[in-house]
Amino acid sequence: MVIRIWHGWTTPGNADTYERMLKEEIFVGIRGRRIPGFRGIQLLRRDAGPEVEFVTVMDFDSVDAVRKFAGEDYEAAVVPPKARAVLARFDARSQHYELRERLGAQ
């Protein structure tokens, strides 16, 4: 499994708007694409003083599946224009990791 991690930051005033956009539009759109090998997405949020940090963690079966989501330059961030308008800054490139272990609770 390949884990794709991306960070974006908003002002505190834009944080709720951005989170709502992610949940109600962007994530719904990703699911609607029915990308073969896409397994899910998690959203993390952290208040960091003058900014609010968001982290998305996406699970894919393989790098080929990531390419189906992001294109040939699969490390490039996928940030719709509407989201760019409320982000103060964001990673231009996503990081990808091979999942080596996932331990569940007993």
Where are the domains positioned within the chain?
2-98
* pLDDT value, residue 99: 96
Which CATH code fits 2-98?
3.30.70.100
**83, 18 Cβ separation under 8 angstroms:** yes
Average pLDDT over residues 26-41: 97
Q: Is the pLDDT of residue 106 over 90?
A: no
Per-residue CA distances from 11 to 19, 37, 51 (Å): 12, 34, 5
Task: Provide the whole-model pTM.
Answer: 0.94
